[in-house]
């Protein structure tokens, strides 16, 4: 079953059209932008929320960045595997990914030659759930289930995720 953060934080009713921006200096291919766009679309399809990319990182509601190791928020990344990414509850909008992962951007993560390959869209859909206010779920098929085995690709919302997000929005 789905869960929320303590106090049930969510984006307020006057902030339903959210922007997201990428940390300047991260080199992002169009493929990476498509992965995030697709991940946001999974959630906008089942809520009144919309997500659009802005070039203005500083004013973006959701700030996405790839960082290595200690990056100043007290939750350092740890190199390959371990912590992959973290996102903070609403209305923080901070969404950090571990730059040291072997991110699979497009292509089949199951067939990757790299044992530690991690599917970027799978992690992005999960972290966006956190950004919107979902905690972890006890339902194994849910996007918000707290563990994945390496080389998983899981990008379709389960009924449990949809029920949780629709309770919030």
Which residues contribute to the site for ligand TQI (CB under 6 A)? 83-86, 122-123, 126-127, 130, 135, 146-148
Which partner, Zn ion, ligand TQI, none, binds residue 96 by CB below 5 to 8 Å per kind? Zn ion
Tell the smallest beta-carbon distance from residue 127 to ligand TQI (Å): 6
Which partner, ligand TQI, Zn ion, none, binds residue 122 by CB below 5 to 8 Å per kind? ligand TQI
CA angle 125, 161, 102 (to 5 degrees): 25
Whether the CB-CB separation of 110 and 26 falls below 8 Å is answered with no
Check whether the bond before 91 is cis (ω within 30° of 0). Answer: yes
Candidates 127, 140, 156, 163; catalytic one:
127
Going along the chain, which residue ranges are E strands? Answer: 17-22, 50-53, 62-67, 85-87, 94-98, 103-104, 118-119
Tell the smallest beta-carbon distance from residue 75 to Zn ion (Å): 5
Catalytic annotation on 127? yes
Q: Give catalytic residue positions.
A: 127
């Amino acid at each position: 079953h789905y869960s929320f953060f303590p106090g049930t934080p969510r984006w307020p009713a006057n902030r339903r059209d959210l922007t997201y921006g990428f940390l300047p200096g991260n080199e992002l291919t169009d493929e990476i932008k498509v992965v995030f766009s697709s991940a946001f679309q999974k959630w906008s399809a089942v809520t009144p929320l919309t997500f659009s990319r802005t070039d203005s990182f500083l004013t973006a509601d959701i700030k996405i960045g790839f960082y290595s190791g200690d990056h100043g928020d007290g939750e350092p990344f740890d190199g390959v595997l371990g912590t992959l990414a973290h996102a903070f509850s609403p209305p923080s909008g901070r969404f950090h990914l571990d730059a040291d992962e072997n991110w699979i951007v497009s292509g089949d993560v199951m067939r990757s030659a790299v044992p530690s390959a991690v599917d970027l869209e799978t992690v992005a859909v999960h972290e966006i759930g956190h950004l919107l206010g979902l905690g972890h779920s006890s339902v194994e098929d849910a996007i918000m289930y707290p563990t994945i085995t390496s080389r998983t690709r899981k990008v379709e919302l389960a009924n449990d995720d949809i029920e949780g997000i629709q309770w919030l929005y």
